[in-house]
Structure 1
Amino acid sequence: MSEVHRYVVSHVLTFAPAIPNVRKQRKLDPGSQVDGDAETAPRKRKRENDLPPETYKPVEEEEPTEEGKPEKESDGFEDIWKVVDMLNERSKLDTLEDVPNAKEVGRKEVKIECNHQIVIREDLGHVCRVCGMIVRKADTIFDYQWEKESRPRSYLYGTRSKDAGEIVVGNVTVSEDLIALDVAIHPRHAQHIKPHQLEGFEFLVKNLVSDKPGGCILAHAPGSGKTFMIICFIQSFLAKDPSARPLVVLPKGIVGTWKREFQRWQVEDMPVYDFYSVNATKREDQLKILNSWQSNMSILFVGYEQFSKIVCCKGDEITAPVCRDMLLMVPNLLIMDEGHTPRNNETNLQESLSQVRTPRKVVMSGTLFQNHVKEVVSILNLVRPKFLNTGSSRLIARRIMSQVAISGRRIPKDPRKFDKAFAESVEETLLHDENFTRKKHVIRSLKELTEDVIHYYKGDILHELPGLIDFSVFLKLSPRQNELVQKLEGYEYLKRSAVGTALYMHPCLSEMSEAGAADKANILTDATVDTLFESVHVGDGVKAKFFINILKLASSAGEKLLAFSQHILPMKFLERLLVKMFGWHVGMEIFVITGDTSAVDRELAMDKFNNSADSKVLFGSIKACGEGISLVGASRVVILDVHLNPSVTRQAIGCAFRPGQQKKVIVYRLVAAESPEENLHETALKKEGISKLLFESNGPHCTAEDFKLNRVSISNCQDEFLDNNAMRRDIQALYT
């Protein structure tokens, strides 16, 4: 009896009478499971992953064998048929190269939740009178009022008002010193705020609204709601000081996301300005927007690159210095989203941001540690100048220097040299010191050093999602690929990375990837890539074959897939391969987001991919597509190559594994076994270990084993997509 037959007999005949009740129970409680044999993994998977997109449109192009057939009514067995389709597809992988994908039918999930109606109880706090839930405890409610305090200060732009505690910039009077005596979350926001966001709100109040305000860092995991928390704070901040002018500096690609969130959560009509929606590329146009922002209670969004250009501009335009001074002097609250971007202290970007006069600077980052400890120190200095060399921080930093493993190195007295020596010594200890006890002492001191400046949240809220399985899949290269790998040793790093990434995908891309930057624009066209398929066998490229097989299984099971790479050529190859094999179209089944994608096209692609029943796969440039966007329509993520910065990969995974995800997310990080890519993977793993040591270790109870990958067998990996002969033949090792 075949696998499909066994599944139908054991599940359809056994559980058919109970299906209507099960469906009702699952809608009310998505986490509930049907009682049954624990070994029926496919059935369990479909109970977790059966929720379709919010809107469903039937596939317009029917398969030839289906034409003319009337649409079938729902028989209550959609979940069973999806699993049968997936098992049937899995059985075909060993015999058929190209099989049309099955169609999926679904229905909307019914969500039941309470729209809290808040009443205030002195003994309890904010309580919902409908369900009785304590939305906000009484001891967390602030009761403050505003006062002013004068302090001598010089200004490049603007003049003093009669009140010693204010300055006048243009037509606006801006409070110079704000002492927090009344900052509270708006009742509408209080209904939705999570406990960790409330802690973050209080952390912001403590640092930004005091007699001596200072900057801080919100290092919350991707998808944990940093944007909503900041929006809550900004509006509470403006409610008590309407003359404040918040400035948000961020990657250009997520400006649209922020503006939508502000419109969603704003409690009073407030203008939101940016340079991009009105195409303000000239200084005089930008000055008009800056004047509007300055004259009204409003918020301004500026991209990192644009901000740096304006501040560093040395042109002859008369408006240029005015624009620069307004960006530096008007804001009294500076928010930097994806704040790891200005981590290099030798760039114009960080120098520009450090010139903003307000001490109220907030860095937001889901992946604070990127490549090196020195970058974290640089960001600390951005929000708190000379952080390691002032106050109590100085004493703790020098204590840490006495703890780390230093071979005959003296502690420098010069602040800049000390910062460098500190970062290098800490990183060396965390990376290479075999004494794990010493590592724990250093980590404990680092947490003490930063506890008042960095608010870290590792994302426990994400535990409420259906789940995440993160695989590192080591694939056996084909004979042709093994022949070509040898010549990679003679290339310098960047070229070796580009050529290797293409070669591991398919050997036919090796020669094309060696072309210079000037020629790649002509090479990366549909017509040029299509010529490769005239004499190419997909099986010669192990990563290409793995990707196609996973996509077939995902499509037959009604799941969508994300594919990320740091290079365009491998994604272009796969895109055209899908067009040739399945007859799919870009913009219908296939979507692509790269650094060249406009903001409008980017938003359109995200929306259609998440919500269209026709969409199957989205290809994304891992850096352009990995920051601050939601692609929860996908439940399978394929990382096509190894990025040396592990935080970039974590951001990409966070596009799917974030609030709003209704299915278990399974990630496949593809690694070419016995190739230079293995060394890159090992280096990236060590860097990721530093991040976990700094932010996720469990104090004295953590051990070295907590940060190592675990090898698992395919039979016990909890992913039925991998448990077939076609996949097993190509997988050399599997880790989680």
Structure 2
Amino acid sequence: MRQQTPKEMACDLLEHQKVCLSWLIRQEKNDRKRGSLLADTMGLGKTIQALALILAHPSKNPNVKTTLLVAPLVLLHQWEREIEHKVKNASSLKTIILHGDAKNTIGLEQMLGYDIVLCTYGKLTAEYQTLKAKRQSDVNPSRHTNRLLVLHPKAKFHRIILDEAHNIKNRSGIASLAACEVNAEFRLCMTGTPLMNRADEIYPLIRFLRIEPYNEWGRFSRVIDRPIRNWKGKAVLQALRKLRVLLRGIMLRRTHDSLLDGEPIIKLPARREVDAYAVFDKEQEAYYRALESKQQLKFNKYLRQGTVMEHYLRILTLLLRLRQACDHPHLIKNLIESDDPESESLSTEGSTPESVALDPASITTGDAFEEDGPTEDGMQPSTVQQKLMQCNCCHEYVKQAVTIKSCGHVVCSKDYEELIEAELEISSSDEDFFPVFWGRQTKRIQNESRDAGKNGFVSMVAVRSHAIGRLQEMEDYRHNIRKSFVASAKTQKIMSILQTIRANNMGEKTLVFSLWPSFLDLLEIPIGEADLSYRRFDGSMNATDRDDAVGAFMTKPDIKILLLSLTAGNAGLNLTAATQVIICEPFWNPYTEEQAIGRAHRLGQNKEVTIHRVLIKNTVEDRILRLQNRKRALVGTALIAEGATAAASLNHDEVRGLLGLP
């Protein structure tokens, strides 16, 4: 029997959402589970289903009534709006956002008087650091306790919900450890991408849900993770079968094509995909080929020396530069003019809050460990582990890491990939999101970025990063890039697409996603010259400005374009006003692109959506597309039937292919 729409809701649940609500309640009432993993694909209404659960299965204990909802900063106000719009009398569901002034002024008893408390993963990690300090200190432990709220020893929640739960996929990361510390009767993970690369990414979710016996890493690693990683014989088939059985008991996953009562659970408008190929002019072609040849020579040198893995982080940077050159030569301007570009500041936007110089040669090796890792409570690792490097992002102990010269922070290869890939921009409003790099180092790093040209090198990234938050310097930066701007193959192609959209249908709106906000800076120039109205959404903007940009795009007919950095705008946002999506460059992981496309092609969309992927043939980009196709074949099928997971890192053959080598 399907649970009906709670009477407090202002909208009717769809049939597949009623099925989900019934399942969620059964999971919570099962004493062996008391929680679940909701892994519906994007656009099926995970938010509405979670709200329905809160209303349909409230606490019977007035002293333990609060649902703690943890989400990325950018989604907090969206959750608040959903509560206002989807609940008949929203004031009866008392809600507070534990961010900004509220987190510093509210007390424990007052917080637990709310029905819903919204907070960021950064708030969790900050409190976990405080909690760890308390445990390690014998001197005045109450001093630390007074600074705790969600992890206070006396804080008990009716339920904790992790939205975008893949944020805890690093099992030794602080966010993952912190989430496990929350005291709650029921636990719910929500993510459309519970597993993207490796089987061990699902483990932190199982540990958070406290599903025995696989919430113990040694058991999970021995029975599931290691056999899948080794990929040999019958062991891998047995491991995949156990993983599927485990997930079947705790996970509900539906896609747009899933059937209910013999029909697709939702009928979305058609989705049309177009590969829009741009063509280099002679100058850009020569520039790219020269850069590619240089990178090939470097890789071949590492190959001959047998040091490819020792130089893995450098190789990532070689590939990054090829990808940036496909967008616009200005993104890596000056870098290849140096005799040894690897010794210069790298154009790896987002590698730190201020994009300071990285030293890819600063790789420290140590003895590997198989099972141990940091302890579950985050305490000091064993002697063997002390020989390894601890990543300041995820706090895992690793064999290879890169050291940031300006502040001495250490970043593992996984996070280094994400940081240089994602151009993670940190503004003051995001302090909770990434507290590791925030603090007394900031001003010194900014000064070093400002003086980055001492050796004749200045990048767009360094100038842009220093200008963020400084009105006059940002104006000077924009004036300078406008003055030196020349069109690239991609900017011309993107403008051609935008002009065609305007000519064919004045009413259509477009999302433009790029990995690099500095490329969006360049793209703003021809968009402005063409008198196209637009807004911007990226990680350097504070939460209020982001909300304003989304609101204007969704509600103002004259705002036709929203420029988004791929990693800031690829998850959680509802942007169904758009019917056109432009992906400026391919991402390593196809599911990141899918999340971006899902901002427009989702429940609530009533028009056909067209996706334009802007590509350059015979470059690193079409090789990335082939890699994406392999990942689609490998990743995620373990969530349904037969399948496997992909390796986290590129192997020798993949790197050779991406660099255009036979």
Please say whether Structure 1 and Structure 2 have the same fold, judged by a TM-score greater than 0.5.
yes
Q: Is the 8 A contact 1:245 1:332 kept in 2?
A: yes
Tell me the secondary structure at the aligned position of residue 422 of structure 1: helix
Q: CA offset at residue 272 of structure 1?
A: 0.4
Superimposed CA distance per residue, residues 424-475 of structure 1 (whole angstroms, 9 cap, x where no aligned partner): 543665xxx9x9x999997665433311101001124685222112344554
Change (3 A) 1:326 1:444: closer
Superimposed CA distance per residue, residues 263-313 of structure 1 (whole angstroms, 9 cap, x where no aligned partner): 22335512101222x52354xx24x2x32122x252111100111101221
Partner of 1:99: none
Q: Is the 8 A contact 1:207 1:216 kept in 2?
A: yes
Superimposed CA distance per residue, residues 380-435 of structure 1 (whole angstroms, 9 cap, x where no aligned partner): 22213555378xxxxxxxxxxxxxxxxxxxxxxxx527516733543665xxx9x9
Q: Is the 8 A contact 2:8 2:87 kept in 1?
A: no
Partner of 1:324: 148
User: Aligned residues: percent identity?
Assistant: 20
**Which residue identity is paired with 1:482?**
E
Superimposed CA distance per residue, residues 644-702 of structure 1 (whole angstroms, 9 cap, x where no aligned partner): 233221111111111222321111233332223333333333223334523466x79x9
**Which residue identity is paired with 1:576?**
I
C-alpha distance in structure 2 between counterparts of 1:214 and 1:628, whole Å? 25
Partner of 1:205: 25
Partner of 2:614: 670
Tell me the secondary structure at the aligned position of residue 55 of structure 2: helix
Tell me the secondary structure at the aligned position of residue 336 of structure 1: strand
Change (3 A) 1:374 1:480: farther
Partner of 1:464: 267
Q: Is the 8 A contact 2:515 2:567 kept in 1?
A: yes
Partner of 1:555: 502
Q: Is the 8 A contact 1:562 1:634 kept in 2?
A: yes
**Which residue identity is paired with 1:447?**
R
Give the structure-2-normalised TM-score: 0.65
Partner of 2:96: 273
Change (3 A) 1:631 1:267: closer
Tell me the secondary structure at the aligned position of residue 175 of structure 2: helix
Tell me the secondary structure at the aligned position of residue 57 of structure 2: helix
Partner of 1:109: none
Give yes or no for the alignment of 1:606 onto 2:558.
no
Q: CA offset at residue 338 of structure 1?
A: 0.3
Q: CA offset at residue 199 of structure 1?
A: 1.9
Partner of 1:302: 119
Tell me the secondary structure at the aligned position of residue 360 of structure 1: strand
Q: Is the 8 A contact 1:593 1:620 kept in 2?
A: yes
Superimposed CA distance per residue, residues 475-515 of structure 1 (whole angstroms, 9 cap, x where no aligned partner): 44433333333435249245335533432122243306755
Partner of 1:575: 524
**Which residue identity is paired with 2:43?**
G
Counterparts of 1:33-432 in structure 2, within 5 Å, are 139-140=1-2, 185-189=5-9, 192-238=12-58, 240-242=60-62, 243-268=64-89, 269-276=92-99, 279-280=101-102, 282=104, 285-286=105-106, 288=107, 290-294=108-112, 296-313=113-130, 314=133, 318=142, 320-324=144-148, 326-327=150-151, 329-358=155-184, 360-388=186-214, 415-416=217-218, 418-419=220-221, 422-426=224-228, 429=231
**Which residue identity is paired with 1:306?**
K
Partner of 2:251: 454
Q: Is the 8 A contact 1:336 1:362 kept in 2?
A: yes
Partner of 1:734: none
Q: CA offset at residue 523 of structure 1?
A: 4.1
**Which residue identity is paired with 1:197?**
Q
Tell me the secondary structure at the aligned position of residue 638 of structure 1: strand
Q: Is the 8 A contact 2:36 2:189 kept in 1?
A: yes
Tell me the secondary structure at the aligned position of residue 547 of structure 1: helix
Partner of 1:168: none
Superimposed CA distance per residue, residues 46-88 of structure 1 (whole angstroms, 9 cap, x where no aligned partner): xxxxxxxxxxxxxxxxxxxxxxxxxxxxxxxxxxxxxxxxxxx
C-alpha distance in structure 1 between counterparts of 2:98 and 2:220, whole Å? 40
Structure 2: unaligned runs, 5 residues or longer: 135-139, 258-263, 299-312, 336-345, 348-354, 357-448, 451-460, 466-473, 645-662
Q: CA offset at residue 577 of structure 1?
A: 2.4
Q: Is the 8 A contact 2:291 2:322 kept in 1?
A: no
Partner of 2:565: 621
C-alpha distance in structure 2 between counterparts of 1:462 and 1:472, whole Å? 29
Partner of 2:632: 688
**Which residue identity is paired with 2:328?**
H
Q: Is the 8 A contact 1:361 1:383 kept in 2?
A: yes
Change (3 A) 1:546 1:352: same
Tell me the secondary structure at the aligned position of residue 573 of structure 1: helix
Partner of 1:180: none
Superimposed CA distance per residue, residues 350-372 of structure 1 (whole angstroms, 9 cap, x where no aligned partner): 11111223352111012222332
Q: Is the 8 A contact 1:235 1:266 kept in 2?
A: no
Q: CA offset at residue 378 of structure 1?
A: 2.8
C-alpha distance in structure 1 between counterparts of 2:568 and 2:49, whole Å? 24
C-alpha distance in structure 2 between counterparts of 1:568 and 1:672, whole Å? 20
Q: Is the 8 A contact 2:493 2:614 kept in 1?
A: no
C-alpha distance in structure 2 between counterparts of 1:248 and 1:216, whole Å? 15
Q: CA offset at residue 207 of structure 1?
A: 1.6
Q: CA offset at residue 230 of structure 1?
A: 0.7
Q: CA offset at residue 534 of structure 1?
A: 5.0
Q: Is the 8 A contact 1:458 1:696 kept in 2?
A: no
Q: Is the 8 A contact 1:247 1:299 kept in 2?
A: yes
Change (3 A) 1:459 1:675: same
**Which residue identity is paired with 1:568?**
P
Partner of 2:492: 545
